[in-house]
Amino acid sequence: MKKILFYFCFLTSYEIHAQETDWSKKDWKKHETTEFWDVKPKFVTPSPIVGNAPSDAKVLFDGKSMDGWVMAKDKSESKWKLENGSMTIALHSGDLATKEKFGDCQLHIEFKIPVDAKKSPNRDDAGNSGIFLQERYELQIFDSFQDEVPLYSNGQCGSIYKQGIPMVNACSKPGDWNTFDILYTAPKFRQNGSVEKPAYITVLHNGIFILNHFEIQGTIQYIGSPQYEPHGKAPIVLQGHGSEVSFRNIWIREI
């Protein structure tokens, strides 16, 4: 019985198959017992260019059109600047949101901090932006290159704002492109609104592991402690926050 339970737990990705199998009749002395041949992962073709979208991804921004995006505050047409294959925050215009809503996902996004970001009159605006998963959970963007613009660690680039500190600072210098590769698991809620499972996020910044299955503690709060509120799928939001940060090559895989 212990063996049966062990293999049932180990092979959770084949849950349906396991439910249809009479494990008590299996011969555990044979290697075939733990081999599955009738369940195959689907084929996905990677891009020949590293960092570009694989065959099953949805391209959110290809550098040519902003049709998939709207201003977050009123769903109006994008006011951000589209030029040279990237989109750049238009100061004082507000946040930008996807028209589509997402939950669990793999997200790739590239961003560039302005060359003169650290000369910002307000230090807190130096390359300041962010990526909000499901409109609520912010992966921070900031000019944190070599810590030349000091900021609290749970607010620097690669942090989950006011919650999680990146394991390392992997920022490229202002004017160079950065990449975030994000694996995100959405929270799950019970019918009474309580949290059944919190959200989790794993992040690679410029190919470097900076957040490892970090448990998001709730919605982002500038003042006070984070807390969860029941919700479903929601847009991805790019923050407009006092700096002309640029974005390109944004794609997503729903998982």
| Interval 230-243: pLDDT, tens | 999 999 999 999 99
- The pLDDT-based confidence of 8 (bands split at 50, 70, 90) is very low
For the chain, how many structural domains are there in total? 2
123 and 11 inside one domain: no
Q: Are residues 137 and 15 in the same domain?
A: no
Return all residues near 29 (Cβ < 8 A) that are at least 6 apart. Answer: none
Confirm whether pTM is higher than 0.75: yes
CB-based contact 111:178 (threshold 8 Å): yes
Task: Determine the number of helices (DSSP H) and then strands (DSSP E) in the chain.
Answer: 2, 15
Domain of 207 in residue numbering reads as 58-254
What values do phi and psi take at 173, rounded to 5?
-70, 150
d(CA 199, CA 201) in angstroms, rounded, equals 7
Q: What is the CATH number of the domain that holds 171?
A: 2.60.120.560
pLDDT of residue 34: 85
Q: Is residue 62 part of a domain?
A: yes
Q: Is 210 left (phi over 0), alpha (psi -120 to 50) or beta?
A: alpha
- Residue 116 and residue 69 share a domain: yes
Distance separating alpha carbons of residues 134 and 17, to the nearest angstrom: 32
